[in-house]
């Protein structure tokens, strides 16, 4: 009897401890055979970078000669929000004429910036109506005239166009 109770308590404790173990998530570019930092300025070209690293995560919006390889790792525990642990962005710029690598820049989580969004709201024109005004607002807006007659201002009901 004592062995079963001890086994049950031990099992419950192990399950409780394992439930609090952090889960790691990897997103973006995963370097398996080659690392973006291994790209050499002046030696590699656009085609050799594509062969080594594959398709970039993104290209620059304004300059198609800049490729980005991005990856990040985040962890989460139980019901907490995920916490970003590591972010690596490699920007590779190519010379548009020779297609050789012009520069390789590595950025980490320390290089990132937090953008503060403005929480204010843009006011809209008009006034807010109550639910009763919305429900009863269309009563009396129906037309007395048939649909084939012109109801624009300045027209007479007997005028035919």
Higher pLDDT, 147 or 100: 100
Residues in the chain: 161
Q: pLDDT tens digits, residue range 74-94?
A: 888 877 888 888 888 888 999
pLDDT bracket for residue 155 (50, 70, 90):
low
> For the whole model, what pTM was predicted?
0.56
- Total number of domains in the chain: 1
Higher pLDDT, 121 or 91: 91
DSSP state of 51: H
Structure tokens belonging to residue 89: 């962005």
Q: Is residue 24 part of a domain?
A: yes
Residue 130 to residue 135: CA distance in whole angstroms: 9
Residue 128 to residue 10: CA distance in whole angstroms: 61
For the segment 106-118, the average pLDDT, to the nearest whole number, is 75
Q: Is residue 13 part of a domain?
A: no
Q: Is residue 61 part of a domain?
A: yes
Q: Is residue 161 part of a domain?
A: no
Range of the domain at 43: 19-108
Q: Is residue 130 part of a domain?
A: no
């Amino acid at each position: 009897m004592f062995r079963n109770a001890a086994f049950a308590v031990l099992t419950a404790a192990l399950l409780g401890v394992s439930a609090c173990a952090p889960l790691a998530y990897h997103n973006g570019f995963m370097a398996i055979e080659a690392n973006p930092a291994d790209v050499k300025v002046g030696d590699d070209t656009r085609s050799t970078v594509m062969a080594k690293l594959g398709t970039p995560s993104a290209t620059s919006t304004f300059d198609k000669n800049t490729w980005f390889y991005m990856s990040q790792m985040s962890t989460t525990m139980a019901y907490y929000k995920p916490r970003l642990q590591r972010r690596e962005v490699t920007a590779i710029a190519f010379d548009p004429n020779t297609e050789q690598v012009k520069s390789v820049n590595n950025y980490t989580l320390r290089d990132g910036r937090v953008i503060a969004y403005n929480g204010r709201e843009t006011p809209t024109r008009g006034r807010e109506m109550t639910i009763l005004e919305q429900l009863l607002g269309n009563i009396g807006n129906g037309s007395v005239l048939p649909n084939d007659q012109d109801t624009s201002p300045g027209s007479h009901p007997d005028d035919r166009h």
